[in-house]
């Protein structure tokens, strides 16, 4: 279970606080106006940014001081989720061994997850030779391969068209979601949240609200969400 205990983030005139927990297996959308701190919240959970106060706790273990790589977390950013100079296979391989000394068993696993995301046989391509949707699939494949219990999606599909974005979200839900894996995704579009999320965290006015029931929130938005959605 992810727990944010008395979390406070202060940077110049920006401030954000959060104090809540999220159940295992939840698919949670993080919504709110631009500049409200959605990405910043994910950065703190992932370990790129140290909070001013408070703790990030996973299953009772304090993660706050740990570097990103040793946290039980995978993250996809808005862009640059693949190294452009490495083949897809090597990009995935880095998720298994940062020194990239891959044995036959590991290579077989890479081929397997590539097939699962629909990229069978494309392991020796470089990202530049893939379409935008294929690049997203490759990044998802690495997350799948790393098999961490908490996955953070910081709008990795924002640059894709609406149709492709929905396709990727479905794929993410299909291959990643499941017992024991929690998804936390920044989202701008209520239809995305409605599509796959069962929880929503509303970020704005200096606070990340506790996760609420997605369907209920979208059906009867509180004033802040109502303002954000322009209702």
Partner 1 sequence: MAAGPVAVIRVARWPGGLAAGLVLALTLGTLAAVLWRAGFALRLGPADLSAIRFTIWQALLSAALSVGFAVPVARALARRRFAGRGALVTLLGAPFILPVVVAVMGLLGVFGRGGVLNDALGLVGLGPVSIYGWHGVVLAHVFFNLPLATRLILQGWQAIPAERFRLAASLGAPTGRLLEWPMLRAVAPGAFAVIFLICLTSFAVALILGGGPRATTVELAIYQAVRFEFDLGRAATLAAVQFGLCAAAAVAVRAAGGAPEAMGGGLDRVVERHEGGGWSRAADAAWIALAALFLLAPLAMVVARGLPGLVELPDGLWAAAGRSVAVALGATALTLVLALALVLRGGVAAQLSSLLPLAASSLVMGTGLFVVLYPFVAPRDVALVVTALVNAAMALPFAARVLAPAVAQAEAAHGRLADSLGLHGWARLRWLILPRIRRPLGFAAGLTAALSMGDLGVIALFAGDGQATLPLLMVRLMGAYRMEQAAGAALVLLALSLALFWVFDRGGRVDAAA
Interface ranges with partner 1 (CB under 8 A): 9-12, 44, 46-52, 65, 67-70, 73-75, 77, 80-86, 90, 94-95, 98-100, 126, 128
Minimum CB distance to partner 1, residue 218 (Å): 31
Separation CA 25–CA 23 (nearest Å):
6
Separation CA 71–CA 16 (nearest Å):
22
CA of 140: how far to CAs of 75, 132, 146, 172, in Å?
Answer: 10, 13, 10, 7
CA neighbours within 13 Å on the CB side: how many for 95? 28
CA neighbours within 13 Å on the CB side: how many for 91? 28
**Which positions ≥6 away from 70 have C-beta within 8 Å?**
none
Place of tokens 């920044």: 186
Over its C-alpha atoms, the chain yields an Rg (Å, rounded) of 18
| 8 Å CB contact between 106 and 157 | no
For partner 1, the closer of residues 94 and 189 by Cβ is 94
Enclosing H/E stretch for 20: strand 14-22
Separation CA 89–CA 125 (nearest Å):
8
For partner 1, the closer of residues 142 and 199 by Cβ is 142
For partner 1, the closer of residues 43 and 225 by Cβ is 43
For partner 1, the closer of residues 56 and 209 by Cβ is 56
For partner 1, the closer of residues 73 and 200 by Cβ is 73
For partner 1, the closer of residues 4 and 193 by Cβ is 4
Minimum CB distance to partner 1, residue 172 (Å): 17
SS3 22: strand
For partner 1, the closer of residues 76 and 218 by Cβ is 76
Looking at residue 43, the DSSP 8-state letter turns out to be H
Minimum CB distance to partner 1, residue 10 (Å): 6
Separation CA 176–CA 214 (nearest Å):
19
């Amino acid at each position: 279970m992810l727990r944010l205990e008395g979390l406070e983030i202060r940077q110049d005139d920006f401030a954000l606080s959060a104090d809540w927990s999220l159940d295992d297996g939840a698919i949670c959308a993080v919504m709110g106006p631009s500049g409200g701190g959605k990405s910043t919240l994910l950065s703190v959970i992932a370990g790129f940014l140290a909070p001013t106060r408070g703790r990030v706790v996973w299953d009772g273990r304090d993660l706050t001081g740990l570097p990103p790589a040793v946290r039980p977390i995978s993250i996809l950013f808005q862009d640059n989720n693949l190294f452009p100079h490495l083949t897809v296979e090597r990009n995935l391989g880095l998720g298994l061994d940062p020194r990239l000394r891959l044995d036959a068993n590991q290579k077989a696993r890479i081929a397997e997850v590539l097939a699962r995301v629909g990229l069978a046989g494309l392991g020796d391509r470089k990202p530049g030779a893939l379409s935008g949707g294929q690049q997203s699939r490759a990044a998802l494949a690495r997350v799948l391969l790393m098999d961490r219990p908490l996955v953070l999606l910081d709008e990795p599909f924002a640059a894709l068209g609406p149709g492709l974005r929905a396709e990727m979200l479905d794929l993410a839900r299909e291959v990643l979601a499941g017992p024991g894996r929690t998804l936390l995704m920044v989202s701008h579009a209520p239809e995305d949240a409605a599509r796959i999320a069962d929880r929503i965290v509303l970020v704005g006015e200096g606070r990340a609200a506790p996760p609420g029931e997605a369907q209920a929130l979208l059906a009867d938005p509180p004033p802040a969400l109502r303002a954000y959605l322009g209702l």
